[in-house]
């Protein structure tokens, strides 16, 4: 019935910071960018491999109710070939990461970093 994830949606609060982070620093490809005057927000569609990320910029969006353990989506995880090399690349761009650890269930290396609004993002081998 379900074949794959079509897209993920993220809400950011600052257009310039979010676009810079996801496009310039993380390297996602900008597919489309639209301002929606009826909602007063931007929507940027980004390519992540064969998947898409919808990045909505809404300055008045409410904060996450708890960090990160609220009900609902907990974090986004991206598969990478080499966590240590990815951490080095992120660090070189000024993005702090948590220490690398091993997932006790998959035994793959993984760690977290955060977008400009504090959304937890994971990289996982």
Say how far apart CA 91 and CA 108 lie, in whole Å: 20
Last-in-domain residue among 60, 88, 105? 60
- Residue 67 is predicted with a pLDDT of 64
* Residue 68: inside a domain: no
What is the count of structural domains for the chain? 2
* Residue 81: inside a domain: yes
Q: What's the predicted TM-score (pTM) here?
A: 0.88
* Residue 39: inside a domain: yes
Say how far apart CA 81 and CA 38 lie, in whole Å: 41
Closest CA to 124 of 91, 101, 94: 101
Q: Give the DSSP H or E segment for 92.
A: helix 83-92
Q: Looking at 58-62, 79-83, 101-105, which range is the least confident one?
A: 58-62
Higher pLDDT, 66 or 117: 117
What tens digit of pLDDT does each residue of 43-75 get? 999 999 999 999 999 988 888 776 666 767 788
Range of the domain at 91: 74-125
Q: In 10 A of CB 39, how many CB atoms? A: 10
Closest CA to 93 of 44, 23, 46: 23
């Amino acid at each position: 019935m379900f074949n794959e994830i079509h897209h993920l949606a993220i809400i950011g609060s600052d257009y310039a910071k979010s676009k810079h982070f996801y496009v310039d620093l993380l390297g996602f490809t900008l597919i489309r960018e639209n301002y929606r005057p009826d909602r007063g927000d931007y929507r940027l569609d980004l390519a992540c491999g064969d998947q898409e990320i919808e990045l909505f910029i809404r300055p008045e969006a409410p904060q996450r109710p708890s960090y990160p353990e609220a009900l609902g989506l907990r974090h986004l995880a991206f598969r990478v070939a080499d966590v240590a090399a990815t951490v080095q690349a992120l660090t070189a761009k000024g993005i702090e990461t948590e220490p690398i650890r091993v997932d006790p269930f998959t035994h793959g290396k993984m760690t977290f970093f955060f977008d400009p609004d504090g959304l937890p993002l994971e990289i996982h081998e």
